[in-house]
Amino acid sequence: MSLLQIQFILAGLCFGAWPLFMNKSGLSGILSSLTITVIIVILTLPLALGEFKNITNANWVMISIAGFFATAGMIFFNKGLFRATPENISQLVIIMAIIQIAVPAIYKIVISGVTLKQIFGFMTAIITIILLN
């Protein structure tokens, strides 16, 4: 297993775990979005200090679009976390994760075309949502 694969596995574990804790925080959706963002900034700033020299070469249009989607997603997600119960939070996060996986999969299809294997993958994702609910 490569370091890159390990990093993505760890990212998946962290992205799967943090909503379960935030759901129990008692914060509203907007406030939880703000507080998690502040904590992320505090924790990543020391790691980013050496990389600020690369900021002038960045594509700010793409960064702005990414920021819009990240902000909207965070607000929708945290508002949902606030309203979710301990009984349905796992189910909702699974639905969100499968949709999140489908977006880059659809992007890949748009770029390179669809295969029978990918059609089968989408069908199994839909079945997964149904079976996990």
- Yes or no: say if 119 and 102 are a contact pair by the CB < 8 Å rule: no
What is the rounded distance in angstroms from the CA atom of residue 2 to the CA atom of residue 22?
Answer: 31
What is the rounded distance in angstroms from the CA atom of residue 31 to the CA atom of residue 75?
Answer: 9
**Dihedral angle sign, alpha carbons of residues 8, 105, 98, 122:** negative
Q: Residue 31: its pLDDT value, please?
A: 93
Q: At residue 118, does pLDDT exceed 80?
A: yes
Main-chain phi, psi angles of 4, to 5 degrees: -60, -45
Sequence-distant (6+) residues with CB within 8 A of 100 are none
Residue 10: pLDDT band with limits 50, 70, 90: very high
Q: Residue 126: its pLDDT value, please?
A: 85
Element (H, E) at 122: helix 116-132
* Model pLDDT for residues 76-98, shown as the tens digit of each residue: 998 988 888 888 888 888 888 88
* Model pLDDT for residues 14-64, shown as the tens digit of each residue: 988 998 899 889 898 899 999 999 999 999 999 998 888 888 889 999 999
Residue with tokens 């703000």: 34
DSSP state of 58: S
Q: Residue 92: its pLDDT value, please?
A: 86
